[in-house]
Structure 1
Amino acid sequence: MMDWIAATGGRQEAEYRVTFDTPDAPRLALDGTVMPPLAHLGALDIEGTDAERFLQGQTSAQLSLADGDLAPLTCFCTPKGRMLANAQLLRVAPAHYRLLMHASLVSSLAEHLKKFAPFYKVELHERDDLALLGLIGNEAAALAEVHFDVLPPRPWHQAGDKRHQLLAHPGPRPRLLICLPADELEASWQWLSRHATPVSNAVWRLHDIQAGLAWLEADQRDTYLPQMINWEALGGISFKKGCYTGQEVVARAHFRGQVKKRLVRAQLDGGLLPEPGSAIKDANDRRLGEVLCAELDAYGEAEVLAVMSTREPVLPLCCAGQKLKLLKLPYPVERLDPESLAERA
């Protein structure tokens, strides 16, 4: 268990799950302000005079957009366009970039990128010395502003300095992700927990599901095209930049409309959480797709993100022995250029 997680007083019930003795945690997030330690996320830093040029050839993001204000989504692909990881990219300082992603993919992505690093003046660092916290609720921005003396940003943007970064994420409630040195965690946790209720990181993951935002895990590596998790609809692909690994396949899938699977949001009619990879089947017992992630909502029902065939299904659908109901995504499934996010006031 990471030292900074232990400092919160939470219990590690699985490798990337931390819980507290907080009843009805998802319901608390509907009305109050809650604070989950984001044990399922990790950070990889890329530093050096060639950092921008190095990343520009590897990632779907336009590096010039990551300017210390916009913190765009991005992904890293194989030559066949399959994702090795998806992440959020922020600039910590000149020639210093940080990638936030699922913790299970940090080491494998670092090893992949190190194959290209000898050709550039860059260094890669897996940041085990950082703590990642979430704040969810109407008071999240005010608490962060008072404690860190930083005006919180709008969604998919960043604020702060080299030691503290605040990132705003979309969702059904206002959300902030806070990145700070692990040795400062205990003091910040004690102050913030007087105003925000500590809850499991499952609550943050639930809000990701409700935002239609999927973070790939190690078992899902090298499986999906970016469009299969709606990454271009979230601004995670720049179609205006030059070449990067996998770019030709990703662009062809977009311009020729060859994406036959898409991310969907759904709800099950029971409280059984399906495992990632669980099959979604139609009325004819035909497999249409699989679950990426699942969490219980405020009413004790499982909400999921899944990758499914775009063909019209034969209803009813089921998953893990439960009926499955498709829900509306909170964004249109169409191309959103990250350049437009940088332009919006």
Structure 2
Amino acid sequence: MSDWTTALGGRRVSDERVAFDTPEPARQAKERTVVTPLVHFGVLDVTGPGASKLLQGQTSAQVDLADGDYAPLTCFCSAKGRMLANAQLLRIDTERYRLILHRGLLEPLRDHLKKFAPFYKSELSIRDDLALLGLTGKEAHALAEVHFDVTPPALWHQVGDEEFQLLAHPGPQQRLLACLPLTRAEAIASRLAEQALLVGNAVWCLQDIQAGLAWLTPAHQDALLPQMINWEALGGVSFKKGCYTGQEVVARAHFRGQVKKRLARAQLEGDRLPELGTAVVDENGKSQGEVVAAELDAYGQVEVLAVLSTKEEIGPLSVDGQAVKLLKLPYPIERLDPESLAQAAG
């Protein structure tokens, strides 16, 4: 674990969690602009003359769309169409692409892609020398302009250069993700903290839940089709590109309507955080799905994303004895082509 977060006054709860002594951070984030180290994410670079062809054959994204402006969502699948990881794809220069994903899947994805890299004269490197910062709130864009000297991009787009990238993510408020050298992270976070509140990354994870955005973790590696986390509804699957590993299964599930589980957003009537993978059960104790993300909200209740059965009538549900209240997703469950997102100005 790097210590740049502890130098800011943070407390490393685990490799994937950092906390600060800020009271009620989720509640404060509803009213104030906040900054947080995104230690649950990591960076994997794919570099070389054949990097784009390597990725084109392995990822659900149309790689040509990643042009240094648009930074598409994507995923990597097994031959059976199950996701090995999902990520955001950036192009840094003509021979370098960057993947931002859950840090627990960095090594497994690198090792998977290593099997193909020599054929494309490409290399894979986990970038431990980079840090990720999240900036959220009504002043996020203004602060980014001042401290990063860039105009924030449109949703799922990027701005910056080879040293620094700024990305816009969806959520209940303005949300920006900055990727920058580790050597600059502490100083920049400190300057931002003069005008924004430092909070732990649980706040960002909660806002991902509220955005209906699920990042695959080791708990669900090689277990879910992309559609089971609504990835095609977020523009994370191109149905207009050629073949990639798992493409046939993913396309068949889409065109034949064979998706039996879907991502749902919910609130639990309680404050006990369930473990990832915990079953969502019906009144007869039968599993109807499982939890893929969970955080405490501003009012001390648990909000979750869960992959649930698409059956119309499954009745009352619960997780670890806590009743489930289904909440509305902030997007429709329908195909959103990344080709149209690439052309969006905002």
Same fold (TM over 0.5): yes
- Please report the TM-score for the alignment, with normalisation by the length of structure 1: 0.98
Task: State yes or no: 1:271 paired with 2:271.
Answer: yes
Q: AA paired with 2:222?
A: D
Q: In the aligned structure 1, how far is the partner of 2:35 from the partner of 2:157?
A: 20
2:292 counterpart residue number: 292
2:74 counterpart residue number: 74
Q: In the aligned structure 2, how far is the partner of 1:116 from the partner of 1:46?
A: 12
Q: AA paired with 1:261?
A: K
Q: 5+ residue gaps in structure 1?
A: none
Q: Is the 8 A contact 2:281 2:318 kept in 1?
A: yes
2:198 counterpart residue number: 198
1:125-167 CA deviation, whole Å, 9 max, x = no partner?
A: 1000001000000111111111111111011111111111000
Q: AA paired with 2:152?
A: P
Q: Is the 8 A contact 2:71 2:156 kept in 1?
A: yes
Pairing of 1:1-345 with structure 2 (within 5 A): 1-345=1-345
Q: Is the 8 A contact 2:5 2:186 kept in 1?
A: no
Q: In the aligned structure 1, how far is the partner of 2:4 from the partner of 2:47?
A: 24
Shift of 1:5: 2.7
Shift of 1:342: 1.1
Q: AA paired with 2:296?
A: L
Shift of 1:298: 0.5
Q: In the aligned structure 2, how far is the partner of 1:28 from the partner of 1:232?
A: 33
1:264-293 CA deviation, whole Å, 9 max, x = no partner?
A: 000001111111111111122221000001
Q: In the aligned structure 2, how far is the partner of 1:263 from the partner of 1:200?
A: 25
Q: AA paired with 2:275?
A: E
User: Cα RMSD over matched residues?
Assistant: 0.9
Aligned-partner SS, 1:190: helix
Q: In the aligned structure 2, how far is the partner of 1:289 from the partner of 1:156?
A: 29
Q: AA paired with 1:255?
A: F
Q: Is the 8 A contact 2:45 2:99 kept in 1?
A: yes
Q: Is the 8 A contact 1:4 1:131 kept in 2?
A: no
- Please report the TM-score for the alignment, with normalisation by the length of structure 2: 0.98
Q: In the aligned structure 2, how far is the partner of 1:78 from the partner of 1:35?
A: 36
Q: In the aligned structure 1, how far is the partner of 2:135 from the partner of 2:295?
A: 18
Q: In the aligned structure 2, how far is the partner of 1:242 from the partner of 1:315?
A: 41
Shift of 1:6: 2.9
- Count of equivalent residues: 345
Identity of aligned residues (%): 66
Q: Is the 8 A contact 1:282 1:313 kept in 2?
A: no
